Amino acid sequence: MADREVAALAKLRDYYRKHQLIPSYAGLGDMLGLSKQGAVKLAGRLLLRGWLKRGPGGRLVPGGAFFERPLVGAAAAGFASPAEELMGDAITIDEYLVEHPSSTVLVEVRGDSMINAGIHDGDMLVVERCSSVNSGKIVVAIVDGDFTIKYLQRDRHGYYLQPANDQFSIIRPQGSLEIYGEVVGQFRKLR
Amino acid sequence: MADREVAALAKLRDYYRKHQLIPSYAGLGDMLGLSKQGAVKLAGRLLLRGWLKRGPGGRLVPGGAFFERPLVGAAAAGFASPAEELMGDAITIDEYLVEHPSSTVLVEVRGDSMINAGIHDGDMLVVERCSSVNSGKIVVAIVDGDFTIKYLQRDRHGYYLQPANDQFSIIRPQGSLEIYGEVVGQFRKLR
DNA sequence: TTGCAAGGTGTACGAACGTACACTACTCTT
DNA sequence: AAGAGTAGTGTACGTTCGTACACCTTGCAA
């Protein structure tokens, strides 16, 4: 049975949460009451299932399925064990929203000019810094020294900034248009 | 200068995102163009700042401040050097959204019944599990075995579920109303 | 000028690591 | 009864790891 794998995965999750690190084969063996070689074989099975993968130097690192929480879908009927639903890992949302950590910043929204795009006053935006953005994307641009959030559009006259609110008008930059970055995600507190 | 530390942290964040692992001292040295000993000393400084910490076997693991992202205010005027941005506030998205990790789950939204509350199809909700919720809050309720997202309201006839979309109607539960949890946050990818 | 701390390089060493191979015990299937 | 596959142990080996110590440069204060 795959009983042992499940138990091992549970202990690995606890270990990883505590140390942000998958133990070595020897450590894994100690943790599970196995010999080092038993741990090697067992880890091989976890690798096949995508729970673990190999990192630099042959070290074990968490695989794609390692952090997966039973995502409670809207159509989900059974949610039997509350213990398994727990979102213990604090990294998940961050990884979901941020692809390139070193070039990503957070910007707080002021104003309602993008309200029809679902961006409200007070929301937080995940912004990836880059100077060139494809048209049609939501961007953070710099107009008169201030940040502004708009759709970047282009027509035969060049690029312009389009709000998602009828009460605001299109901005056509005189001269060059300075792009701060592209909006790749958003989040807000509801409480 | 602390210039080198900031650059190193940026590269470390990208490396960690790719491999879920902080490199060894030798790997860190290669990454930064330093000798192994230079990496040892530099890592010592990162340890002092809380960006890294020590794991089992002396290995480096991300510290508490490792996942923080720079927060750029919407009213910020000058943003001259990227280094300057790091001087502002920094938060982790997870800490911002999740207050009680052990009782928080993520739910993916299906349907448009809450669209006027800014909750769209495909959004992710941060749900804090609890059985009793104050009225007026957005809740995940269980109706006929299915999850549903609605405002929880109360009148003289008792509790009912109110959608934020004119095309949907109020749900008055027959018998008891089962609350799965309260929606305390939401996030979505825009790319 | 002297002193000294900060930040860097080079070398060395024992411990721990990943890997490989041989072997055993048990459980199925043929 | 024989064979194959699975899950485990033991031993061995070369590499890499973290650590320590000596040494060099630069900037700055006494």
8 A C-beta contact, residue B74 and residue A106: no
pLDDT in tens, A67-89: 765 555 443 333 333 333 444 44
Establish if A17 touches chain B: CB-CB under 8 angstroms: no
Q: Does B67 contact A109 at a Cβ distance shorter than 8 Å? A: no
Structure tokens at A32: 């599970």
Cα–Cα dist A144/A177, whole Å = 10
pLDDT in tens, A36-45: 999 999 999 8
Distance from CA of B164 to the nearest CA of A (A): 14
> Which chain A residues touch B85 with a CB distance below 8 Å?
105
CA of B170, C1' of D18: distance in angstroms:
64
Residues 6+ positions from B89 with CB-CB distance below 8 Å: B70, B71
pLDDT at A16 over 60: yes
What is the mean predicted confidence (pLDDT) over B159-180?
Answer: 88
pLDDT in tens, B47-86: 988 899 999 888 999 988 888 888 776 433 333 333 334 4
Question: What's the pLDDT at B158?
Answer: 86
Residues 6+ positions from B153 with CB-CB distance below 8 Å: B135, B136, B159, B160, B161, B162
Per DSSP, A35 falls in state -
Confidence of residue B150 (pLDDT cuts 50, 70, 90): very high
State which residue of chain A sits closest to B144, comparing Cα positions: A77
pTM: 0.80
Per-residue b/e over B177-190, b at no fewer than 16 CB within 10 Å?
bebbbbbbbbbbeb
8 A C-beta contact, residue A53 and residue A28: no
From B59, B42, B54, B44, select the one nearest A60 (Cα to Cα).
B59
pLDDT in tens, A77-125: 333 333 334 444 444 688 889 999 888 989 888 888 899 899 999 899 9
Question: What's the pLDDT at A86?
Answer: 41
Distance from CA of B156 to the nearest CA of A (A): 25
Which residue, among A24, A91, A140, A148, would best test binding to B if mutated, counting the most B CBs under 10 Å from its CB? Answer: A91
- Residue in this structure with the two tokens 């630099």, named with its chain if needed: A56
Point out the least confidently predicted range of A52-56, B1-5, B59-63, B150-154: B1-5
Q: Is the CB of A34 under 7 A from strand D?
A: yes
Question: What's the pLDDT at A125?
Answer: 93
- Structure-model confidence comparison of residues A31 and B101, the more confident one: A31
∠ Cα A33 A21 B126 (to 5°): 110
The one catalytic residue in B132, B150, B169, B176 is: B150
